[in-house]
Amino acid sequence: MASLSADLFYDILKRLDAAALARAGCACADFRAISNEEDLWENACTSLWPSTRQDDIRSLIVSVGGFRKFYADCFTLILNKDVPVVQTNETNPFAEEWAESDYYYDDMDELENSLPSDFVSLIDVWYKDRALYSKVIWEFPNSDGASGWFYNCPFRIDLFHHSAENNENNNGEVFLSTISELPSVPSMEQERKDGKLWRELNDGIKLSWIIVNRKMKRAVNLTSWHPLGGQRHWPTDTDFVLRFGSVLPAKEVLPCQVAECILLMKFRMTSMGSEEAGEPSTLALTELSMQIEDMGGVHLNGRCSLLLLKEALSCHRSRNYDEVLESCNLYMKAQSELKEEKIRSECRFDTLCIVSGITIFAAICTMCYRKFENF
């Protein structure tokens, strides 16, 4: 090793992906010194996230700490196991309806530290390790100041309804076909039976949605890399919806203490194709959106969403995907229990109303009968 030059070490390390580069830095002092080179981490980041290849994004990443720090922040995923337990009793606070005023701080100083213009979104979509779509959004769209509708209306980012300059595939659809190893679909009836295309989408599609806060100089990846679930043939037979996301901490923002960042991706079958004629089946990416909901399924507004995204920038993260997936499943289980408890509470209330109505009706009948007897 001592006889090898630093240039040769550099040439070896630049061929590694970021995970291997980090491990190589632990092998020996020479590798460690060279593995700290920003050029190596820039190469690793641009290979993993095509959206980072733009010159303005490169300047942004350098300003928030460099490519090595950016990789460490964004390759790891949000891990939140602090999901409150839903109590199945009549005093359960999660079964109550929360007022809008309970959702966010009424603190303008806190809000001024989380302006929509501070956030930059880097979005990348892959299918079987092939880059399918990349986009950069400078600040959240349609945010027009603290007194505008953005802060009070439901927060949502829809990439295919937002136009930005200097981005490829901005106004057109993104297509995925059997040429890209997508299985052919002879008919939707056959797809409903075997679900082959649906399984391939779930296994092959990968999403990264990174937000960078220029003021705080921090970044976080809001996605789960792979789909957490989805819906086949909704709302039409030719639509496939994939759901990604993460569980955001909200202990000081929401009564339920946690919220879910929901990232939806929708594909639509535009051509069945034919194996005999050599025509590929084709899917079009028609929707890619972000929204944030509380545990009760309420779509949060812009004011509250900004505070949650600010908290997410400094939350706990993990490289262990199974651990992250477990935390997401824990949240979905608690959410399901909350819905069941609300249904039970509504049933108890309905039963009480029915019993009360019957009791009142019986009392009125008794009074009328006694008056009739007195006559």
Which pLDDT tens digit goes with each residue over 283-318? Answer: 888 889 999 988 888 888 888 888 899 888 988 888
131 and 179 fall within a common domain: yes
Non-local (6+) Cβ contacts of 41 within 8 A are: 18, 21, 66, 67, 68, 70, 71
Q: Between 34 and 215, where is the model more confident? A: 215
State both tokens at 214. Answer: 């220029």
* pLDDT score recorded for residue 2: 52
304 and 160 fall within a common domain: yes
205 and 300 fall within a common domain: yes
- Integer angstrom CA distances of residue 240 from 27, 88, 197, 286: 45, 35, 10, 10
Distance CA 299, CA 319 (A): 29
128 and 272 fall within a common domain: yes
Q: Between 372 and 303, where is the model more confident? A: 303
Q: Note whether residue 349 is domain-resident.
A: no
* Amino acid identity, position 68: R
Q: Tally Cβ neighbours within 10 Å of residue 78.
A: 23
69 and 119 fall within a common domain: no
**Mean per-residue pLDDT for 146-171?**
64
Q: Between 58 and 129, where is the model more confident? A: 58
* pLDDT score recorded for residue 162: 45
**Mean per-residue pLDDT for 159-164?**
57
Q: Note whether residue 306 is domain-resident.
A: yes
58 and 116 fall within a common domain: no
Beta bridge partners of 77: 318
For 180-203, the pLDDT digits (tens) are 677 777 788 888 888 888 888 899
pLDDT at 106 over 50: no
Q: How far from chain centre, in Å, is Cα 158?
A: 13
Tokens 């996605």, residue located: 223
Radius of gyration of the chain (CA): 26
Q: Note whether residue 348 is domain-resident.
A: no
134 and 277 fall within a common domain: yes
pLDDT at 89 over 80: no
- Integer angstrom CA distances of residue 211 from 106, 188, 225, 283, 368: 24, 37, 14, 28, 70
Q: Between 115 and 84, where is the model more confident? A: 115
User: How many structural domains does the chain have?
Assistant: 2
57 and 112 fall within a common domain: no
State both tokens at 319. Answer: 């490289």
Q: Note whether residue 271 is domain-resident.
A: yes
pLDDT range class, residue 102, cuts 50, 70, 90: very low
Domain extent, residue 23, equals 6-75
- Integer angstrom CA distances of residue 345 from 121, 333, 351: 41, 18, 10
Beta bridge partners of 139: none
Beta bridge partners of 292: 261
Non-local (6+) Cβ contacts of 311 within 8 A are: 248, 249, 250, 252, 253
* pLDDT score recorded for residue 170: 40
pLDDT at 169 over 70: no
* pLDDT score recorded for residue 61: 93
Q: Note whether residue 355 is domain-resident.
A: no
60 and 160 fall within a common domain: no
26 and 146 fall within a common domain: no
pLDDT range class, residue 153, cuts 50, 70, 90: confident
69 and 136 fall within a common domain: no
169 and 44 fall within a common domain: no
Q: Note whether residue 326 is domain-resident.
A: yes
Q: Note whether residue 364 is domain-resident.
A: no
Distance CA 116, CA 215 (A): 11
Non-local (6+) Cβ contacts of 283 within 8 A are: 175, 176, 177, 182, 201, 240, 267, 268, 269, 270
* pLDDT score recorded for residue 105: 47
Q: Note whether residue 321 is domain-resident.
A: yes
Between vectors from CA 328 to CA 159 and to CA 336, what angle results, nearest 5°? 100
